[in-house]
Amino acid sequence: MTFRAPVRELAFALKTAGFEAVLERYPETDFETVEAILEAAGAFAGEVLAPLNRAGDQIGATYANGKVTPVPGFAEAYRAFARDGWTSLTADPEHGGQGLPKAVELAVSEMVQSANMSFGLCPMLSLAAIEALTLHGTERQKRLVLPKLVSGEWTGAMVLTEPQAGTDLAALAAVARPDGAGGYRLYGQKIFITWGDHDMTDNLVHLVIARTPDAPPGVKGISLFLTSKRLIDEDGELGSPNDFRPISIEHKMGIHGSPTCVMLYDGAQAELVGELNQGLAHMFVMMNAARLEVGVQGVAIAERAFQQALAFSQERVQGKALWSAGPSGPIYDHPDVRRTLMLAKAKIEAARGICLMTGVLADLAKVAASEEDRAAALVRQELLTPIAKAWSTDVGVEVSSAALQVHGGMGFIEETGAAQHYRDARIAPIYEGTNGIQAIDLSGRKLKTTNGSAMREVCAEILLTAEALTESPDLIQVGRRLAAGAQALEKATDWQLAHQGADSLTSATPYLKLAGDVIGGWVLARQALAAAGSDAPWLQAKAPLAKLYASQVLAQAPGLAEGVMDTLPEMAAITPDALVG
């Protein structure tokens, strides 16, 4: 099935996410330029990357004799991707980058991930490495390594997880021993290392967390190290292979084209990134960048699955369709199928808006005119990041499942390709911090940072939008339900802040869902208002999408808030045996 990059939707979503405030700080970049970038990226995604997606699933990356070989065609596509400048969009011009806003890069990333999620993971992790080295790299690393990552000549990998230490980084055992010459030697095994090895470039850079022999216990003893597949001399020339290698790749449910490596470090030469024993903070620069990118992945795979389901629904003729004239019609004309597709579309637009809104805030946190405005943007960006990651990736799974359902039995058959989207989507709620961890981060950290004021300010702005909706006769009910949702979110926020321990932890996930549902409704409401009066059919659909979302999702917000606040003290006493019938 042909993939069509949603360029006009992305441009519209950027505008309604407040992107024009960012462009005011980029006098050399106008919106027409941004649209041209999106058009070019969409063409590359559709013409080069999308055709490789099926082979990525069916053939997959392979491992033999200590080396990983990517899917046929991936290497050529990657070299074209780097040559055309897609690896350097947001990087600092000082290091060879184009210095564009983060929100533009996220919009481009969505099209790349939608066309080929397995491929898109490789440059995504390089972007995270670029951000970490830009902030914390040494002069040598910025001179020799950073420009190569920015140009795409080399790729980066984020190396965190160990067999005994998943999320619990305090339990990691990898050791970096001083080598007596100002560097370190890395020892240990790491798992789940995405694109940890390949032959698409002549070098790979790993950013590895480990502890030195005399480091404090727990997370306070974690440091961040840079090591590369081939050694780099002081002139930037590549030398002999370093002492690390993949020892296997995982056989996964999905994203078969992305090699997930088990890596062995056997005395690999490495150098410190940033400060000793500050690796956790340095690593979170990468992690937070990757979390927003993964939220975009959720949107991307939902978009890809939706497009295929929408096309199938117009091709598949079955039974008497209520909205068809003849004795039979396409399943798109069956009310429940159309409702399913419209609700999927609404959730995609809501998730896209949340991710791009977070990207706009990331830009404003750097370039807003005043220190006060930059600080305010950063606070809201940090508040929305766990929502963007978790809620959007849940949407990815939900929409890809609904899209498979539209196919009926044909969706369960691998031949149609619908199952691949569902299988690929399922990893996104898991990696870069499971969605349960995102929920705990939201309720346990981000709310408390401002004692809830950041979320209350969001609720206040949502209520202003709800009031504006009541001035449009066609959107009055949307406004009422959006207002009720905002009030429910504010009430649940106050409850979360007033409760600690098990009560807060057990309600964290439904609280994040409530926040995502309501903020997603806010996105759709703003889009409906912005599209009012348009003659374009795709913009005329914004109001019906907002209405459907309000009736199917926002209407449930008050009940969901009640569930957040309805604790279950008996849960602590329920043993595993009690759950066995």
Contact in structure between 268 and 242 (CB atoms under 8 Å): yes
Q: What one-character DSSP code corresponds to residue 262?
A: E
* Contact by Cβ (8 Å): 152, 120: no
- In this structure, are residues 152 and 87 in contact, taking their beta carbons and an 8 Å threshold? yes
DSSP string, 299-338: HHHHHHHHHHHHHHHHH-B-S--TT-SSSS-BGGGSHHHH
For tokens 């898109």, name the residue: 120
Q: Which residue is it, tokens 């930059």? A: 374
Give every CB contact of residue 471 below 8 A, 6+ residues apart in sequence.
none
From the candidates 398, 432, 490, 570, give the one annotated as an active-site residue: 432
Dihedral of CA 488/490/491/497: which sign? Answer: positive
Dihedral in degrees, nearest 10, Cα atoms 254, 105, 459, 553: -40
CA distance linking residue 540 with residue 536, whole number of Å: 6
Of the candidates 276, 203, 288, the one whose C-alpha atom is nearest the C-alpha of residue 237 is 203
User: CB–CB of 292/214 below 8 Å?
Assistant: no
Dihedral sign from CA coordinates of 514, 404, 61, 43: negative
- Strand duo 184-194 + 67-69: pairing: unpaired
Cα torsion at 453, 456, 457, 462 (round to 10°)?
Answer: 170
Taking a C-beta distance cutoff of 8 angstroms, is the pair 439, 509 a contact? yes
Structure tokens at 292: 């927003």
What span, in angstroms and rounded, lies between the C-alpha atoms of 407 and 261? 34
Question: What are 224's two structure tokens?
Answer: 């961040």
Q: Beta 155-159 vs 67-69: how paired, if at all?
A: unpaired
Query: What ranges in 211-334 are assigned the alpha helix state H?
Result: 279-315
Record the tokens describing residue 94, joined without a space. Answer: 């000082």
Please state, as a whole number, how many other Cβ atoms lie within 10 Å of the Cβ of residue 353: 25
Ordered alpha helix ranges (H), 442-541: 447-449, 453-469, 476-498, 502-506, 508-531, 537-540
Give the type of residue at 254. Answer: G
Q: Is 432 considered catalytic here?
A: yes
Q: Which residues are catalytic?
A: 432
